[in-house]
Amino acid sequence: MIWMDVDTALAGVPVNVAPLVASSDFITVDEGVTYDEAGMDLVWNFTTTAGVTTATSVTPTTGGAHDWTHTDLGMYTLEIPASAGTINNDTEGFGYFTGNTTANLPFRGPTIGFRAAALNNAMIDGGDTLDVNVTAIANDAITAASINTGAFSADAFAADALIAGTFATGAFTADAFAADALVAATFAASSLDGKGDWNIGKTGYTLTNFTDANATNLNSACTNYSVTRGLTGTALPAVQADGVGGLPLTYSGALDLDAILADTNDLQTNQGDWATATSVTVSDKTGFILAATGLDTCEIDGVVASSFLAAMGAVTFGTTLIGATSVFYARDGLTTLATITHNTTGTRSGSVIAGD
């Protein structure tokens, strides 16, 4: 079998598989057979890949469409054009010549196969790759071990080789991938390094159950955002927390606003109207300390004076205290506020250091 490219002009298709010999002695190789040899009867037998066979008579020429050529030692060829000939190389299939002349024995040529040039380039010439459409791949045919390192690099794909238009609808469905086929372990740690920011310029995303009302609320929230209080509104002040006019903070974690409110309500109930209140009734309360000058007036045992010390000095004491000395100390227990000597008349004398 000889393979040739279809749809191209062929300068020399073999006419005979063995040298032409003289019919007179059955042994002499005839190297002088011409295109117009007496009794030339040449037939092209062709069968298509669909099984249709034809036999067409061809007249050899010189300087025409079917030039007859002697190569050597009784071997001959015939030209077959791609078109405009009695026979043409324009159909895939198989063909061979048969014929005889007056001076030669009958002869037959080799079978020639005519197919796409890419097949011959890939399978014989080695200058091309097979153009195939894969419809099925056996299980485990494509594994990590069966693919060379770097087989799928940027240089392995032409521009726009892998775009939406190159894949049929439904080509990548859940059924197309085995369980866990695309998990973190199937990608090298650096497989997406340097591939750019995948979030920039991407459009067309759809949020599930994201209604127009949701979009309105989100837009409002973004518009009303505040760096000091999150989402703005009338419920929170627009100032820093713990600042003037801001929300109160508790640093010990024990701030109980409800308890504080209850205490202030009790004070309000006990005191009455704080706006007009002038005094607080004290009955059995102890532990109070009065400053030396902390009162406008003071009354002790019926004696009204301008201060606590003045009132104490004016008190009439019993005769047992006549001539005795009373010393009044400050809150620290050390500083002397006043020294008073009790006279027989019940009045005081002495040095008042503070409090009058």
Task: Quick: pLDDT tens for 301-318.
Answer: 455 555 555 555 555 444
The answer to whether 42 and 106 are in contact (CB under 8 A) is no
Q: Is residue 86 part of a domain?
A: yes
How confident is the model at residue 46, as a pLDDT?
A: 98
CATH of the domain at 82: 2.60.40
Q: Is residue 260 part of a domain?
A: no
pTM: 0.43
DSSP codes of every residue in 1-66? -EEEESSS-EEEEE--SS--BBTTTS--B-----TT-TT-EEEEEEEETTS-EEEEEE--BSSSSS
Of 122, 153, 182, which residue is a domain's last? 122
275 pLDDT band, cuts 50/70/90, is low
How confident is the model at residue 303, as a pLDDT?
A: 52
User: Does residue 332 have a pLDDT over 50?
Assistant: yes
Q: Is residue 315 part of a domain?
A: yes
Q: Residue 303's domain spans which residues? A: 298-349
Q: Is residue 73 part of a domain?
A: yes
- What's the structural domain count of the chain? 2
Q: Is residue 66 part of a domain?
A: yes
Task: Quick: pLDDT tens for 212-238.
Answer: 888 888 888 777 777 666 665 555 666
Of 72, 89, 122, which residue is a domain's last? 122
Of 72, 102, 122, which residue is a domain's last? 122
Q: Is residue 183 part of a domain?
A: no
Q: Is residue 62 part of a domain?
A: yes
